[in-house]
Amino acid sequence: TIDPSTINTDSAACLETIDGNQSSYLADTINLTGNIDLESGSTPYNWIPLGTSSSSAFTGIFNGNGHVVSGYTIGTSTKSYSANCDAGFIGYLESGGKVENLGVSGTIYANNSYCVGGVVGANFGMVENSYNTGSVTGHRYVGGVVGDNCGTGAIVENSSNTGKVSGDAYVGGVVGYNCSGKVEYSSNTGSVTGSGSSDDYVGGVVGYNNGTGAIVENSYNMGKVSGCGYVGGLVGDNSSGTVESSYNTGSVSGKGFAVGGLVGCNDGMVTTSYNTGSVTGSSSVGGGVGVNYSNVESSYNTGSITGSYCVGGVVGSNSGSAATVQNTYYNTSVAYGSGAIGHNSGTSTNNIGISGPSSGTGSNLSNLGTFNTWNSSTGAFNTTPVTSAPWIMGTITTGGESIVAPILVSDMGTATVTANSVSMTYSGLPYSLGSHYTTTGATLSGTVADSTSSVNTGTFTITPVVTALNFPTQTDAGFFAYVKGTLTITPATLTVTANSATMTYGGKVPTLSGRVTGFVNGQTLAGDSGSATWSTLTTSSSSPGQYGITGNVTLGSPYSGDYTITQASGNATALTVTGGITSTHFAPVAQTAALTLSGPGTSIFGNSSDSGGSSSSTSEDSITLSSGSGTSLSVVSTGGGDPTGDGILSSQEVKP
């Protein structure tokens, strides 16, 4: 039975039922509980995009929970998908809708359709932690994850594509067309191909990034990117948008105008990004940006460049009074053309060509804040101070990939690492910071350890230290700020449990024993040079009943302060004393015969309400009542024969 509001399934039949009756499920929450293969035999299922248009959009939540849907096609190789738009596993995702933690592996043939994506065709909502491995073919606005990411609330985050992506125009490895939306922490490793005859806007991450709110950040491409014009390793055309903290290592080629290792054409902001892939084009070809009309800064290129006109190590053509290129560098040994900028009619500041090692150490130009040589053998600059230069060398991890390449100081920012204060019970093991820390101000990729190795109880300071990053001055103020925490280790508890014991009234107190439990990390009482003794206040004269046994524990060094001692609740009644006078009943008439009361004692004294009796002492083990005529007799036994004496054994009434 399918719950019409929340559906949990790992069934192909259930998913096919949803697909065939979409109008009933477009606002639901769908949770996958396992991988689903829709293929029947060798025939893939003909999937209808869930939410086929804006008028029948998917507004619910599709949570894959880390599972994959496979074995389906949208259209076929001989018959393309019939609708002219919104082709994807989810066709149209409305604002407020969400796709998360989902993997898809189908094939999409939508050669005549707009807004074609492996996961979502048209996205106005949220796509996160999702990926596509199948091939995606469309007409325009074609992406490996999302075809059209539209609106300020449209977000693609932590998502990736490894499948082949192709289309006529506006083609991207992750998103085809990003209009005022955000693409972050996402990647592409599949090939991306634009088949248009002129300007096809092809990018390794985004084909066309349009609008002041359009952002591509912390993302990368490693796949091959090819097209005609407006082709970039990250973005084909960046129109008023922002591209930052991202990189490309894949080859980039275009047959026409505006081809760049990062961005084909830029009319927005490109910052703190780099390219190491080869770049091939015809006109306006740049290692970073093909043609720039706005701002390119704090970025670099070390990939090879091939072109015919307006070819530059960083920018092919820097065109117009608003065009600015600053604080960039390129490798002159692989660059072709006229230096950092092939053709410049804008502003150029601190853009440097670097070639060959200089005696194994980079030159120090701290006043200029740039370098004119680099050290290819060790990958480290001689910087004084490092923060005065626009980049340093080192090893970082970003977007899931390890990079051994220059890092821009402006890209690093300041990360504040705060050790969380922790209170823990003594365990006998050294404290480890683990995940008990937070970072703010920058994304930290690496390992955080601590200088605290405290074991014993007390209060200590936790000092976090970044250990995995390989920056030349990774602990300098300005890169990392550390906030210390407090570690409080409180004593563990030892429980002292007495073994049960029994003694007879008037007899000898037995040898007492017990056990001590609660030691940690293999520690023992003997191994700690400690000891335990057992005592009681009970004596041979104590009345029958239950008495306490106390365990006395002494701990040796070095753990004497690491434990607290507690007595088990059963210790208070662990010792039982038995014996005493046993009641003897007699008839409610004059008693002339002798009565013998068993039990210890030395003498007996009796009286009743109407007559008394006399008694005589015989032994400690029995008392004989020689005569009596009352209906009750109060018998008191004492240690010394005096009814007003010690009262060790309480009075006991003898009655019918």
Q: Are residues 602 and 531 in the same domain?
A: no
Task: Compute CA 17 distance to the chain's CA centroid, rounded to the nearest angstrom.
Answer: 35
Q: Are residues 610 and 552 in the same domain?
A: no
pLDDT at residue 584 in the model: 41
Residues 210 and 321 in one domain: yes
Q: How far apart are CA 253 and CA 259, in angstroms?
A: 7
Pair (193, 300) in one structural domain: yes
Average pLDDT, the chain: 79
Domain presence at residue 407: no
Predicted local confidence at residue 506, as pLDDT: 84
Q: Are residues 202 and 104 in the same domain?
A: yes
CB proximity list for 651: less than 8 A, separation 6 or greater: 634, 635, 636
Q: Is there a cis peptide before residue 491, judged by omega within 30 degrees of 0?
A: no
Does one domain contain both 467 and 546? Answer: no
Question: In the prediction, which pLDDT does 453 show?
Answer: 63
The answer on pLDDT for 7 being more than 70 is yes
Total domains in the chain come to 4
State whether 187 and 310 are in the same domain. Answer: yes
Residues 61 and 131 placed together within one structural domain of the fold: yes
Q: Look at residues 329, 354, 379 and tell me which one is the last residue of a structural domain.
A: 354
In this structure, are strands 575-578 and 545-547 parallel, antiparallel, or unpaired?
A: antiparallel
Q: What is the pLDDT of residues 12-60, one digit of tens each?
A: 999 999 999 999 999 999 999 999 999 988 899 999 999 999 999 999 9
For the cut 70, the answer to whether the pLDDT of residue 8 exceeds it is: yes
Q: Which residue has the higher pLDDT, 561 or 448?
A: 561
Place of tokens 């191994």: 527
Statement to judge: residues 281 and 425 lie in one domain: no
Asked if the structure places residue 585 within a domain, the reply is no
570 SS3 class: helix
The one-letter code for the residue type at 530 is G
More confident call, 395 vs 128:
128
3-state helix, strand, coil in the chain (%, to 5): 5, 45, 50
Q: Which domain holds residue 477?
A: 415-485
d(CA 503, CA 511): 10
Out of 578, 604, 625, pick the residue that ends a domain: 578
- Picking from 578, 605, 635, the residue at the C-terminal end of a domain is 578
Residue 396 lies in a domain: no
- In a domain, residue 586? The reply is no
pLDDT tier for residue 465 given thresholds of 50, 70 and 90: low
Lowest mean pLDDT among 283-287, 457-461, 563-567, 580-584: 580-584
249 with 330, same domain: the answer is: yes
Q: Which residue has the higher pLDDT, 102 or 478?
A: 102
Q: Which residue has the higher pLDDT, 78 or 610?
A: 78
- What mean pLDDT comes out for the span 69-73? 98
Confidence bin at 413 (pLDDT 50/70/90): low
Q: Are residues 645 and 542 in the same domain?
A: no
Q: Is residue 371 part of a domain?
A: no
**Structure confidence at residue 623 as a pLDDT band (50, 70, 90):** very low
pLDDT recorded at residue 260: 98
**Is residue 375 in a domain?**
no
Q: Mind spelling out the 3-state secondary structure of 414-480? A: CEEEEECCEEEECCCCCCCCCCCEEEECCCCCCCEEECCCCCCCEEEEECEEECCCCCCCCCCCCCE
Quote the percentage of the chain above a pLDDT of 90.
Answer: 57
Give 115-145 pLDDT, tens digit per residue: 999 999 999 999 999 999 999 999 999 999 9
Rounded to two decimals, what is the model's pTM? 0.59
pLDDT in tens, 559-601: 778 889 999 999 999 999 987 544 443 333 343 444 444 444 3
Q: Please check whether residue 339 lies inside any domain of the structure.
A: yes
Mean pLDDT of the region 64-88:
96
In the prediction, which pLDDT does 201 show? 98
Pairing of the two strands 422-425 and 29-32: unpaired
Q: Look at residue 470 in the predicted model and tell me its pLDDT.
A: 39
Q: Considering only 265-274, 277-286, 387-396, 540-549, which range has the smallest mean pLDDT?
A: 387-396
Q: What is the pLDDT of residue 438?
A: 74
Q: Give yes or no for residue 92 having a pLDDT over 70.
A: yes
**CATH number, domain with residue 93:** 2.160.20
Helix (H) or strand (E) holding 284: strand 283-286
Residue 132 shares a structural domain with residue 205: yes
pLDDT digits (tens, 9 = 90+) for 195-214: 988 889 999 999 999 999 99
Specify if 75 maps to a domain: yes
As beta bridge partners, residue 391 has: 408
